Structure 1
């Protein structure tokens, strides 16, 4: 007997020309679908997401599946598909607001498949950055909020600022000298004049 595969057409809500075709097994979960959508669009794993069932005009019904252990992890796709062209509205990352139109394009019979599902069958258009307004952290921006001076951890360690800090066997910090005698700091000659 042939196994069935769901082929979904997944596109960004505002940019339908950016599209991915995804094959997935009917007994796989909405969590599996969410993960392959993220991978297909080069997005980080979504910490929060939800699916809505839609009619043929993409009008959403009530929230159907949320990303929690009892939601996306447990619900098989076949449990929520009642139409051979079923449509879902998927909010991938609630905080970032990425919305996908997910439509069941085909139900395909496959004999003796050796493919691991789910996987991306086709891709059109370059995926946008998941967080386009995120600021890249730059070493130049590391500064003391009070003085405005730039600092780097490597500079603090390299100048010996922590040389007199000792940590005993119990992990307790103490200030003092080690068994090696540290040199006395030089006096500032400008204050003596």
Structure 2
């Protein structure tokens, strides 16, 4: 079977690629197809994220094992596309280059029979030119005052001193002015 994806850059302008890839290929193969179709050099770290129907990010699947115990964490090459995506679970998020945060919405558009003689993965359609730089991401809460609003009287120095009145560190033999 062939999975046909629409891969959309998370930007104001419409920039997307349609990619056909075998259902038995790995997430790493899809990663390679995406960075090649958008013109990246492939030298940066990337991750996929599972998500729900409304694109809410869930579990990370990284390119490399970043866990505490080597081999314990599953990575892109461990997952076949058909393990994660099907006609009910069609969406996944892809982030390339964690400095610039190129973010892509990847959606399975169709599942079709493999065409004899075609080479996969294949970029089927390309729309829009990649900008020189990724758009700046806003990681603030929707209401920036939410934190301050939790406290009726606002925050002061006493609220921020987590060790004030706490003698628990004296048991460790640390001096307050050790340097």
Q: TM-score by structure 2 length?
A: 0.64
Q: 2:90 aligns with which of 86, 91, 109?
A: 86
> Which residue in 1 is equivalent to 2:57?
60
Give runs of ≥4 in structure 1 deviating > 4 Å. none
> Which residue in 2 is equivalent to 1:105?
109
Residue 95 in structure 1 maps to residue 99 in structure 2: yes
Comparing 102-111 with 117-126, which one deviates more in the overlay? 102-111
Residue 50 in structure 1 maps to residue 53 in structure 2: no
Superimposed CA distance per residue, residues 43-95 of structure 1 (whole angstroms, 9 cap, x where no aligned partner): 110431111112221111122x1002651123211111144451011111122
Gaps (5+ residues) in structure 2?
Answer: 66-73, 136-179
Q: TM-score by structure 1 length?
A: 0.60
Greater relative contact order, per chain length (Cα 8 Å cut-off, separation 6+): 2
> Which residue in 1 is equivalent to 2:79?
75
Alignment of 1:20-169 (within 5 A): 20-63=17-60, 65-68=61-64, 70-84=74-88, 86-111=90-115, 113-129=116-132
Q: Larger radius of gyration, structure 1 or 2?
A: 1
Count of residue pairs brought into register by the alignment: 127
Cα 1:83–1:16 change in 2 (3 A) is farther
RMSD (Å), alpha carbons: 2.0
| Alpha-carbon separation, structure 1, partners of 2:63 and 2:100 | 15
Superimposed CA distance per residue, residues 83-123 of structure 1 (whole angstroms, 9 cap, x where no aligned partner): 44510111111222100000000001235x21121010001
Alignment of 1:9-28 (within 5 A): 9-15=6-12, 17-28=14-25
